[in-house]
Copies of this chain bind each other. A is one copy, B any other.
Amino acid sequence: MDFLEEPIPGVGTYDDFNTIDWVREKSRDRDRHREITNKSKESTWALIHSVSDAFSGWLLMLLIGLLSGSLAGLIDISAHWMTDLKEGICTGGFWFNHEHCCWNSEHVTFEHRDKCPEWNSWAQLIINTDQGAFAYIVNYFMYVLWALLFAFLAVSLVKAFAPYACGSGIPEIKTILSGFIIRGYLGKWTLVIKTITLVLAVSSGLSLGKEGPLVHVACCCGNILCHCFNKYRKNEAKRREVLSAAAAAGVSVAFGAPIGGVLFSLEEVSYYFPLKTLWRSFFAALVAAFTLRSINPFGNSRLVLFYVEFHTPWHLFELVPFIVLGIFGGLWGALFIRTNIAWCRKRKTTQLGKYPVVEVLIVTAITAILAFPNEYTRMSTSELISELFNDCGLLDSSKLCDYENHFNTSKGGELPDRPAGVGVYSAMWQLALTLILKIVITIFTFGMKIPSGLFIPSMAVGAIAGRLLGVGMEQLAYYHHDWGIFNSWCSQGADCITPGLYAMVGAAACLGGVTRMTVSLVVIMFELTGGLEYIVPLMAAAMTSKWVADALGREGIYDAHIRLNGYPFLEAKEEFAHKTLAMDVMKPRRNDPLLTVLTQDSMTVEDVETIISETTYSGFPVVVSRESQRLVGFVLRRDLIISIENARKKQDGVVSTSIIYFTEHSPPMPPYTPPTLKLRNILDLSPFTVTDLTPMEIVVDIFRKLGLRQCLVTHNGRLLGIITKKDVLKHIAQMANQDPDSILFN
């Protein structure tokens, strides 16, 4: 009769939008591992299987690294080409981007590296001239037209094929990693569409970046590759370990920062991060970085456009402006989060959300129209950041480097502080306008139905502010080097202040204000610059920015979006600080009907089916008897339905009046009763229990650390109630004066 000992298909799996039971998943993996280890002693074949099983994790990491590195390279190259397509086309070969086109040209001079006859602006192609107002208008028109086309394609593709491909994906990945199931979020369609639309969205010139979505792309790679390995396909907990590593690989290729990527995964997105995963993540991140480097998308063997190698020193006094930048970053971060969330809430609750295509087109049109006249908004945001981070050399021809050269350079190669020329002043004005545009438009851009990352716009805002302050400080030091604050360390003709460093510090501050990253932020910036000496300025800015932003609102942008969307995410960082007890949270509440329980050996199939159909609970405690309320175990609704259905089909004589028992042995039955149904194998014999007087802070801690779905509440040994993860989340929301019913959850 015991053929229920055979696993029934479906038992132990999860429905969509459900939470996984970490304890059960990890137990299952240990069972699996034990079985393979035991078998490995029996035959050589089993031994090989066991070894290959042990190494499959490493192989998977290698594949993830290779795939996400290649995809990142592909995205970089295509986005670069399509961004330039908005301005013109290469007659030497339409597949060349602007820079590449002129590389191959023989007619290019050192002074004007980006001007060559092979590269034709749209005006040149259409009206055969690049001069005059009409040409300008043609170029303007074509720029806007291409931007609209790209944006339209992006939003249509997302809407038609993969609605999950929009946004940055990080809030959802955080939620998934914490143990939630969103089917298709990391699937192959999402991967394909997100990769394509990301290129389109970036090329359209909208105020968004590719860094956040790259994490999503890498996680999709991880999830899809998991299907090739039994160990990871079937186990939700193990798969999440892989996804954590994939997230690290994603950041690694986004910023060229493998260590930063691992720390980002650890600090920001991961929930369960055993040390084994740390090492594997590091491996995946490295492989991804090296794959990208060998693709060499920017032609400079760097992984990102805005890599800089700085070595100019900074002075202790400069910490003051750096902290000012930190305050700016914190203020901007907090402001951005508030306004963006308010706008997104409006989108969710009003008619606005119903017209995503129109919304995207309007925002794109506004961005493109405002962006074209200003060269700093017209160029791609990564290029802008790269230019802002750059320290002016003697031969730099950009406007930002238009200083009045007196050519009395003191030491070898090091340029002294110089008075700003006309170009710098006009650049300052343009940058100030850019700053305003970026600040405003990003609020409306992040959250639209296209892939959109937030790292690059945040960094751009910070970098502009930093550069403005940096140039200001530089000029102040040049003209007033006799002031008390300068004269001790900044003599005339010395190179005291590096505006590029200010841009970098500003970028870190704004990124920190929006995301509330700390260690990983500093390490990412450190890996971007390669100099240990800038850790102190970066850290000062990141710390100030986090403190300021935290004072104005506890949540980072990702947590705010998680809450906005009502994902059941149990934040591991926040301490629960209220003095409530388990009895205040458990169901049933004081005046509710009693807890729905099953008894261990006295209910019929019909009784159980009635309970299942009358309630929607996802699980039921099993007790010795209703009178004693002594707990035996816990059974899941899904397992119960599947098992009863299966028994009715396959097991002879199981009818509605059959007794279901959960004990080891069948209860004594009178003769001529229908055969009984043993369901002990689907019973969880070790349900977690807490007493009714347990403080909620401890309950929250248990839920977080052990990854529970539910916990039973007892009083003096009697079963009293149940607390589910949803109850915990609702209670936390309630205590924080938020709407507890916003949480989407089964």
Contact = CB atoms under 8 A, between A and B. Distances in A.
Interface of A: 23, 26-27, 30, 33-34, 37, 258-259, 262, 266-267, 274-276, 278-279, 282-283, 286, 290, 518-519, 522-523, 526-527, 530, 532, 535-536, 539, 543, 572-573, 575, 577, 579, 582, 624, 628-633, 685-687, 689-691, 693-695, 697-698, 701-702, 705-706, 714, 716-719
In the complex, the 8 A-B pairs of residues with the closest C-beta atoms, listed nearest first:
A630-B717, A686-B694, A685-B693, A279-B518, A705-B705, A717-B717, A630-B716, A686-B691
A34 B577 contact: yes
Copies in the complex: 2
Name, among A259, A278, A282, the residue most crowded by chain B CB atoms within 10 Å (CB to CB): A259
Contacts of A693: 685-686
Given A286-B536, A717-B630, A697 B279 contact: no
Contacts of A258: 532, 535
Given A259-B526, A686-B691, 13 more contacts: A23-B698, A27-B695, A27-B697, A30-B575, A34-B579, A266-B278, A278-B518, A282-B519, A530-B530, A631-B716, A685-B694, A705-B705, A717-B718
A519 to B, nearest CB: 5
Nearest to A689: B689
A632 B530 contact: no
A289 to B, nearest CB: 8
B632 A577 contact: no
A518 B706 CA distance: 26
Contact of A719 (B282, B518, B536, B717): B717
Nearest to A685: B693
A27 B578 CA distance: 11
Contacts of A633: 691
A573 B275 contact: yes
B535 A286 contact: yes
A451 to B, nearest CB: 28
A535 B718 CA distance: 58
Nearest to A716: B630
A681 to B, nearest CB: 13
Contacts of A628: 717
Contact of A697 (B30, B267, B632, B697): B30
A97 to B, nearest CB: 26
A614 to B, nearest CB: 26
A416 to B, nearest CB: 23
A340 B535 CA distance: 40
12 contacts: A26-B701, A30-B575, A33-B577, A37-B577, A259-B259, A275-B572, A278-B518, A286-B536, A290-B536, A629-B717, A630-B716, A714-B717
Contacts of A282: 518-519, 522, 539
Contact of A706 (B23, B572, B694, B705): B705
Nearest to A572: B275
Contacts of A518: 278-279, 282
A250 B543 CA distance: 22
Nearest to A274: B573
Contacts of A535: 258, 286
Given A27-B695, A30-B577, A718 B630 contact: yes
A527 B532 contact: yes
Nearest to A629: B717
A533 to B, nearest CB: 9
A624 B630 CA distance: 14
Name, among A573, A579, A698, the residue most crowded by chain B CB atoms within 10 Å (CB to CB): A698
Contacts of A527: 532
Contacts of A522: 282
Contacts of A33: 575, 577
Contacts of A526: 259
Contacts of A290: 536
A540 to B, nearest CB: 10
B706 A701 contact: yes
Given A267-B275, A519-B279, A718-B717, A686 B690 contact: yes
A719 B689 CA distance: 13
A11 to B, nearest CB: 18
A262 to B, nearest CB: 7
Nearest to A527: B532
A262 B267 CA distance: 13
A691 B37 CA distance: 28
Contacts of A685: 691, 693-694
A691 B701 contact: no
Contacts of A714: 689, 717
Contacts of A286: 535-536, 539
B716 A624 contact: yes
Contacts of A582: 686
A519 B278 contact: yes
Nearest to A699: B686
Contacts of A27: 695, 697-698
A535 B532 CA distance: 17
A25 to B, nearest CB: 12
A21 B27 CA distance: 26
Contacts of A716: 624, 630-632
Given A30-B575, A34-B579, A267-B278, A631 B717 contact: yes
Contacts of A279: 518-519
Contacts of A30: 575, 577, 697
Given A522-B282, A539-B286, A685-B694, A573 B276 contact: yes
Nearest to A281: B519
A293 B72 CA distance: 39
A624 B518 CA distance: 50
A705 B572 CA distance: 13
Nearest to A702: B706
A30 B578 CA distance: 9
A452 to B, nearest CB: 27
A309 to B, nearest CB: 11
A690 B259 CA distance: 40
A262 B519 contact: yes
A27 B573 CA distance: 16
Contacts of A266: 278
A279 B516 CA distance: 12
A630 B716 CA distance: 5
Nearest to A694: B686
Nearest to A683: B693
A347 B676 CA distance: 65
A95 B103 CA distance: 62
Nearest to A687: B691
A316 to B, nearest CB: 11
Contacts of A34: 577, 579
Contacts of A530: 530, 532
